Amino acid sequence: MFAAGGRPSSQSPPVTDVVARLRIALLGGAPTLTADEVAAAAGVSRDLTQRLWRAMGFADIPGDEVSFTEEDLQALRRTAAMMARDGLAEGDILHLARVLGLATARMADSVVSFSADRAAAGGANPIDAGVLDEVDHLVVYLFNRNMAAAVQRHWTHAAGAEESAVLAVGFADLVGFTRLSQRLDDTELAALIEGFEAMASDAIVVNGGRVVKMIGDEVMWSAQPAASSEIALLLAETFDDPDLPGARVGVASGRVITRAGDLFGPTVNLAARATGVARPGSVLVAEDLFEVVEADPRYHLRRLRPRRLKGIGWANLGALTRARSRPVAP
């Protein structure tokens, strides 16, 4: 597709030909089956086949259009076998398809965007058979690694002591991001977001926390309550730079509902509302964390007047800072 140096050559084949070849390589061959044929061969109703396809994030394809490969058929057969073997309801498998579809769609877009950006900058085109094979192995490796971590989190939570059911949940967002984004070009904006994600991720995971999700200028994270103060302060301090928009952070602690890797419940809502009223560069913690913070000599907590938070009511919040060292009296 690209000549030496990565730039399109005058002998490059049409883009449509390149895309077709890549699709064949990725899908395990050229399409030979219709949706109706795939459903019939897998022993799955056409209705469920279509709903699974939509749940994975793809638009409807007419039942008589040749658009599917043998790998599509094998995937549907495996899905049907899993439903029968494990007694999964249609709702269960549709939920799983939706979650995995969203995650893998983002992964795929990231790889292709990286490829396009690199090629535009004059680098070699990284989408070829060799790289595709390596990415395939890397994705499986990362999935297995994350599965191992998720299993440990889940079973520690389910079978552990009472305190294991309690998590600190926090948010950090960039203040003035919308206004700033209007002044940046696409490259500068992408660099800002990438830098925010990298720095936020480092601050969270280095202290044993977990990045729950990132949405543009905001990161949601969780951690054990004892580790939450350090994470929150690192997030606020990391973005204390005149060349960057400031970050505000809110943290709450309590029981949470876990669903598809996301967290829900009053604790999450309280953390989000606390973040919304925090000042740039500051950290606000909810009342359930007061004792944890005050028991740690590294930190200082200034209890604030009760504040009414939208959708929650009156809440007790405290401003978290690092403790100032005091001279020892003679």
Pair 311, 166 in one domain = yes
* Residue at 145: amino acid letter: R
Q: Give the span between the Cα atoms of 144 and 11, in whole angstroms.
A: 42
Pair 206, 121 in one domain = no
Q: Where does a domain end: 107, 127, 147?
A: 127
The answer to whether position 150 is within a domain reads no
The answer to whether position 204 is within a domain reads yes
Pair 211, 258 in one domain = yes
How many domains does the chain divide into? Answer: 2
Domain containing 304 equals 162-322
Pair 194, 120 in one domain = no
User: pLDDT value at position 128?
Assistant: 65
Share of the chain above pLDDT 90, in %: 39
Share of the chain above pLDDT 70, in %: 83
Pair 58, 116 in one domain = yes
Q: Where does a domain end: 127, 145, 179?
A: 127
Check whether 165 has a pLDDT greater than 70.
Answer: no
Give the pTM.
0.66
Check whether 330 has a pLDDT greater than 60.
Answer: no
Query: Under DSSP, is residue 215 helix (H, G, I), strand (E, B) or coil?
Result: strand
Q: Give the span between the Cα atoms of 330 and 324, in whole angstroms.
A: 18
Check whether 278 has a pLDDT greater than 80.
Answer: yes
- Which pair of tokens denotes residue 293? 């913070």
Pair 93, 238 in one domain = no
Pair 77, 171 in one domain = no
The answer to whether position 261 is within a domain reads yes
> For the CA atoms of the chain, what is the radius of gyration?
25
Pair 18, 104 in one domain = yes
Q: Give the span between the Cα atoms of 210 and 225, in whole angstroms.
A: 12
Q: Give the span between the Cα atoms of 254 and 267, in whole angstroms.
A: 6
Q: Give the span between the Cα atoms of 51 and 240, in whole angstroms.
A: 47
User: pLDDT value at position 258?
Assistant: 80
